[in-house]
Each structure stands twice: as C-alpha cells, then as structure tokens.
C-alpha cells in the first residue's frame, strides 16, 4: 500500500504547553477548557455542529517521535502491545478525544474536557452520538484492574523520545 497523507483542518488550543502533566484521557479532564480553531477553508463543514453537545476530535500526536510495539502504558507497570493501549507513541500517531462543545464563534469551537497538548493539528471532527458510539462490553482486558486510576493519572513523560 502506498503512503497515506492527511492535511490538518485546524489547530487545537489548550492550557497544556507540553505532554508532561496532561490528563491521559478526556474523561480524566472534566471541565478543562480549550478552543478548536478551524481553518477558514473548512468553515462550511461546521454547518449544524451547534446541535451537538459532544464531538469527537481526531488529531495528530505532533510531538510523538518514534514508537515501540510494546509499551508500558500510563495505567499499568507491565508491558503491553501498543494496540491494546492508548499510548501516543504509535506507528501512526493518531489520537481521539470526546469533548463537550460549549459554544461556537465563527471558526472557533469552545470545548471542555480537553486532554490535548496546545498546538495539536486537528485532522477531523465527528459528532458524538451515544446510539452509535456506546457499546456494552464484556471485557476491557488489562485495563479492568487499572481503569479506576484514570482521574489521578497524568502524562509522566514516559513516551518522550
């Protein structure tokens, strides 16, 4: 397969100037505010977004350098395959976050529950729809014993290369 290229549609602004200390998931970043600035040529794509309380941001981990196929994730002290973690150092450094859409002013989307570093390139936005996105699951693997640590866990620099 040939190379795949994406072009950012905007920039995400947040209070986090570096990965260290950033919440590791948007569920652990409740109330933290940010702004998504959409580039003017994509403004028309925002039509009707105000009807959604939550959106999914898909972005490029622009500070990620390299990857390993086995990583020690933030919520555990054991090595796991990168594809069963949400570690930022990945073969394709793509991140996703579900955030609350607070208001829109032109090409600026004011959001909450931000777990993203300032200046992160935005690749896409999708509406969050519980009927589409929520699933009842039987197992959550190694996270079963660690998911309770989410709200107190922050980036500790372990993926800095």
pLDDT tens by residue, 108-130: 999 999 999 999 999 999 999 99
The 10s digit of each residue's pLDDT in 21-77 is 888 788 888 999 999 999 999 999 999 999 999 999 999 999 998 899 999 888 888
In the structure, what pLDDT confidence band is assigned to residue 161 with cuts at 50, 70 and 90?
Answer: low
Half-sphere exposure of 66 (CA within 13 A, CB side): 7
Alpha-carbon gap, residue 123 to 10, rounded angstroms:
7
Residue 115 counted as domain residue? yes
Residue 28 counted as domain residue? yes
Q: For position 104, what pLDDT does the model report?
A: 97
User: Which secondary-structure segment (H or E) carries 34?
Assistant: strand 33-38
Q: Which two tokens stand for residue 92?
A: 């394709």
| Range of the structural domain that residue 63 is part of | 10-152
CA 68 to chain centroid, in Å, comes to 19
Residue 1 counted as domain residue? no
Q: Do 128 and 55 form a contact (C-beta atoms < 8 A)?
A: yes
Residue 133 counted as domain residue? yes
Read off the pTM: 0.90
State percent of the chain over pLDDT 70: 99
- pLDDT for residue 91 is more than 80: yes
Q: What is the CATH number of the domain that holds 95?
A: 2.40.30.70
Alpha-carbon gap, residue 99 to 29, rounded angstroms:
9
Q: Do 146 and 75 form a contact (C-beta atoms < 8 A)?
A: yes
Residue 113 counted as domain residue? yes
Residue 33 counted as domain residue? yes
Residue 161 counted as domain residue? no
Q: For position 14, what pLDDT does the model report?
A: 97
Number of domain units in the chain: 1
Instruction: State the distance between the two ends of the chain, measured CA to CA, in whole angstroms.
Output: 28
Residue 4 counted as domain residue? no
Q: For position 134, what pLDDT does the model report?
A: 82
């Amino acid at each position: 397969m040939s190379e795949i290229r994406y072009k950012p549609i905007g920039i995400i602004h947040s209070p986090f100037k570096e990965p260290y200390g950033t919440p590791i998931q948007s569920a652990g970043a409740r109330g933290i505010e940010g702004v998504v600035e959409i580039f003017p040529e994509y403004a028309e794509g925002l039509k009707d977004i105000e009807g959604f309380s939550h959106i999914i941001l898909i972005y490029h981990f622009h500070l990620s350098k390299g990857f390993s196929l086995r990583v020690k994730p933030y919520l555990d002290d054991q090595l796991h395959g990168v594809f069963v973690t949400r570690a930022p150092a990945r073969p394709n450094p793509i991140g996703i976050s579900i955030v609350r859409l607070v208001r829109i002013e032109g090409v600026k989307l004011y959001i909450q529950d931000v777990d993203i570093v300032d200046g992160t390139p935005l690749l896409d936005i999708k509406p969050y729809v519980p009927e589409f996105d929520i699933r009842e699951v039987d197992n959550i693997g190694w996270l079963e014993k660690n998911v309770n640590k989410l709200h107190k866990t922050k980036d500790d620099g372990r993926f800095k290369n």
